[in-house]
Structure 1
Amino acid sequence: MFFLLLTGMIILFVVGTTLLVKGEILYGSIVTGAGILLLLTVLIYYGRKKYRKKKYDCTPDCDCGPDCN
């Protein structure tokens, strides 16, 4: 999912920049703004996901599930 969102973000930035260079200021700004929103979404979502605890991620006291001995 990360690479799909990353690819979409890159496509939006390229299309937005192309539209801005060609003189389509309104559409270029909208598409570039959508790329920025997608970038922020990816950063926030995957930044929070990094610190989530996995379901059977055992701590040293090991009282979290069936995989612990």
Structure 2
Amino acid sequence: MSILIVGGSGHLGRRLVRLARAGGQTVTATYATRRPPDGDGVRWLPVDLRPRWTSVWTAPARRSG
């Protein structure tokens, strides 16, 4: 069986990738910024699901008091 793990390079995604590979699954996983190293039998695809404006917009600072 083939499985796609969106966010495979993240904290939870890395664990899911390992579990799926240990279970004999064919795994394709995505990453947003840094490509994980090869050699783990996973097909890695660059995918960033954030809207484009989120990378340039930051929330205003909250005022205390």
Q: TM-score range by the shorter chain?
A: 0.3 to 0.5
Structure 2 length-normalised TM: 0.36
**If each structure's helix is expressed as a fraction of its own residues, which one has the higher value?**
1
Structure 1 length-normalised TM: 0.35
**If each structure's strand is expressed as a fraction of its own residues, which one has the higher value?**
2
Q: Which has the larger radius of gyration?
A: 1
